[in-house]
């Protein structure tokens, strides 16, 4: 991520498509042009971006978040992994023919017009800054291990969460070279404790710590769905390479490969790490744990030094995740603003970074963090995660629906003909998987997420009116 990220105006589509919406601003299969001399990142860095954003920090707290459901949550993790891989494959197919910055926004707009594209961009943007608030809350749990005074009062915890959000934002504002440096260090640091627990923890595994298979009164399907809705947070980032496709070298090939490699690698670490924590920490303790990986290492080696080292690595990891997510949070509004669907101010770039998008994102995440601590919720992380789960499913649903549309409409130029059946099956599985996640989010999360989503309709109305006055009739 050390390259300067800029996105030139896309070329018009040379051939009209038999669709109810206009073709995308960039021709399918054509990467965005860039000024001469600027570099893109290749497959290794693109894969690191995907893995770095997926393994952001949620995994460090999620074993405790799903422990109340019992070990049935491991079944949810396995099902979720298969669904995430299906999504990754769909994003890889879509990026092959739409290798422009914006990801789900680009795909939805190409298939269904401006309004669908706007909804994808708006909901994805909400997902990013709500995720940042959730990551900051998760980081505070590990900061309390390092500095117990942080956890003495809710306001000290709130202040710590705000600091964790603003430091990566300042790194972003300094330019993409600093973003890349922070991302590289944090990606290396985050794998040390995860691999230590995921591999080494299996040698200390005690089945007596697992607790009940199903610890709630829900049906098995309901428990799996509910725990999967929380666990989805740990897989957000599957689309990272697709969102930044305009910055990837040879995106037609590398975006899909990076997406699959990053997702499979993260899934392997996740499954082994969660299983190890379940077997290391007694169920009664794990349910109320604020730093489950630290507790797991303490069990492995005794004392508290191991847990302290893990806590330090976890904080660095989450700061790195916030660093990458802060940049991604500005990319989709930037792409939409260039098409007149977001306020023009979001196009502003300095040192390769959409600075207005970064500032607005961190301000909104900070406000949400303060609100949740002020409201006195004892499960701030879970509340934020469930809202994020719902808003994330909107661009996922629109992207998979776009792929189904391209396949069903016979637009062969957008789909590899030899993979028609496989692509159709994957798209249908990914769509059904996304719908299942909506159902598992729960009424409260869907209610709050819909409010966030509907607030965007007013923004679209204003932006569509401006485009019409300018002589450009928006579709959708």
Structure confidence by residue, pLDDT tens digits, 118-175: 999 898 888 888 888 877 877 887 788 788 877 777 788 888 888 888 887 887 777 6
Write the DSSP string, 197-256. IIIIGGGG--GGGS--S--SSS-HHHHHHHHHHHHGGGGTTTTHHHHTGGGBSSHHHHHH
Average pLDDT of the residues in 456-476: 75
Structure tokens given for 137: 């809350």
Tokens of residue 119, six digits = 């909804």
Taking only the tens place, the pLDDT of each residue in 341-372 is: 888 888 877 776 788 888 998 898 888 888 87
Token pair, residue 296, equals 């797991």
User: Do the Cβ atoms of 95 and 256 come closer than 8 Å?
Assistant: yes
149-162 b/e with 16+ CB inside 10 Å = b? ebbeeeebbbbbbb
Distance, in Å, from the CA atom of 109 to the CA atom of 10, rounded to the nearest integer, reads 14
Q: Is 335 helix (H, G, I), strand (E, B) or coil?
A: helix
**What average pLDDT does the chain have?**
75
| Collapsed DSSP state (helix, strand, coil) of residue 238 | coil
In Å, how far are 65, 233, 262 from 184, measured between CA atoms? 28, 22, 15
User: So what's the pLDDT on residue 476?
Assistant: 44
- Give the whole-angstrom CA distance, residue 143 versus residue 312: 8
Cβ neighbours around 69 below 10 Å, total: 26
Query: What is residue 26's predicted lDDT score, i.e. its pLDDT?
Result: 41
Among residues 434, 190, 468, the alpha carbon closest in space to that of 324 is found at: 190
Mean pLDDT of 203-231: 79
> Is-contact 475 22, C-beta < 8 A?
yes
373 vs 325: CA distance, rounded Å: 22
Tell if the pTM clears 0.95, that is, is over it: no
Q: Give the DSSP letter string of 81-143.
A: HHHHHHHHHHHHHHHHH--STTTHHHHHHHHH-HHHHHHHHHHHHHHHHHHHHHHHHHHHHHH
Residues of 448-458 as b/e, b for ≥16 C-beta within 10 angstroms? bbeebbeebee
Between 476 and 459, whose confidence is greater?
A: 459
- The sign of the dihedral angle between the CA atoms of 349, 330, 346, 109 is positive
Burial class for 459, CB neighbours closer than 10 Å (0-12, 13-18, 19+): middle
| 8 Å CB contact between 399 and 124 | no
> 14 falls in which pLDDT band (50, 70, 90)?
very low
Q: Which of 281, 372, 241 is nearest to 61 (CA)?
A: 281
Q: How many CA atoms lie within 13 A of 11 on its CB side?
A: 13
Top-confidence range, 8-17, 217-226, 275-284 = 275-284
Decide if pLDDT at 302 tops 70: yes
The 10 Å Cβ neighbour count of residue 367 is 12
Query: 264 exposed, middle or buried (CB, 10 Å; 0-12, 13-18, 19+)?
Result: middle
Please state, in angstroms and rounded to a whole number, the distance separating the CA atoms of residues 80 and 225.
10
R_g over Cα of the chain: 21
DSSP conformational letter for 59: G
With contact defined as beta carbons under 8 Å apart, do 34 and 6 qualify? yes
């Amino acid at each position: 991520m050390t390259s300067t990220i800029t996105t030139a105006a896309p070329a018009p589509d040379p051939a009209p498509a038999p669709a109810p919406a206009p073709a995308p601003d960039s021709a399918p299969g054509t990467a965005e042009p860039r000024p001469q001399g600027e570099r893109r990142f290749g497959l290794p860095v693109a894969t690191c971006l995907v893995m770095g954003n997926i393994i952001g920090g949620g995994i460090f707290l999620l074993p405790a978040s799903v422990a109340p459901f019992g070990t049935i949550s491991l079944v949810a993790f396995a099902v979720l992994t298969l669904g995430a891989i299906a999504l990754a494959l769909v994003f890889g197919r879509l990026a092959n023919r739409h290798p422009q910055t914006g990801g789900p926004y680009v795909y939805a707009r190409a298939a269904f017009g401006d309004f669908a594209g706007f909804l994808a961009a708006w909901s994805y943007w909400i997902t990013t800054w709500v995720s940042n608030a959730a990551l900051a809350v998760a980081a505070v749990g590990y900061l309390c291990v390092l500095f117990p005074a942080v956890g003495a009062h809710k306001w000290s915890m709130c202040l710590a969460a705000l600091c964790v959000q603003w430091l990566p934002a300042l790194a972003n504002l300094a330019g993409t070279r600093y973003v890349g440096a922070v991302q590289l260090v944090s990606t290396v640091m985050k794998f040390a404790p995860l691999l230590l627990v995921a591999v080494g923890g299996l040698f200390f595994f005690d089945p007596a710590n697992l607790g009940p298979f199903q610890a709630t009164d829900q049906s098995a399907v309901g428990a799996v769905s509910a725990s999967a809705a929380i666990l989805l947070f740990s897989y957000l980032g599957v689309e990272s390479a697709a969102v930044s496709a305009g910055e990837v070298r040879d995106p037609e090939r590398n975006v899909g490969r990076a997406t699959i490699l990053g997702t499979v690698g993260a899934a392997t670490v996740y499954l082994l790490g969660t299983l190890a924590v379940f077997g290391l920490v007694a169920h009664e303790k794990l349910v109320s744990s604020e730093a489950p990986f630290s507790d797991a290492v303490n069990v492995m080696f005794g004392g508290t030094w191991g847990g302290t080292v893990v806590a330090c690595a976890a904080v660095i990891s989450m700061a790195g995740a916030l660093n990458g997510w802060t940049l991604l949070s500005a990319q989709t509004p930037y792409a939409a603003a260039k098409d007149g669907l977001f306020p023009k101010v979001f196009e502003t770039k300095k040192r390769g970074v959409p600075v207005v998008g970064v500032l607005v994102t961190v301000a909104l995440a900070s406000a949400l963090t303060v609100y949740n601590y002020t409201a006195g919720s004892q499960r701030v992380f879970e509340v934020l995660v469930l809202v994020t789960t719902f808003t994330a499913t909107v661009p996922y649903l629109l992207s998979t629906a776009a792929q189904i549309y391209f396949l069903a409409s016979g637009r062969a130029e957008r789909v590899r003909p030899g993979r028609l059946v496989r692509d159709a099956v994957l798209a249908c599985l990914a769509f059904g998987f996304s719908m299942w996640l909506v159902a598992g989010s729960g009424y409260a999360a869907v209610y709050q997420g819909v409010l966030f989503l509907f607030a965007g309709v007013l923004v679209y109305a204003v932006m569509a009116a401006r485009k019409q006055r300018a002589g450009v009739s928006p579709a959708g």
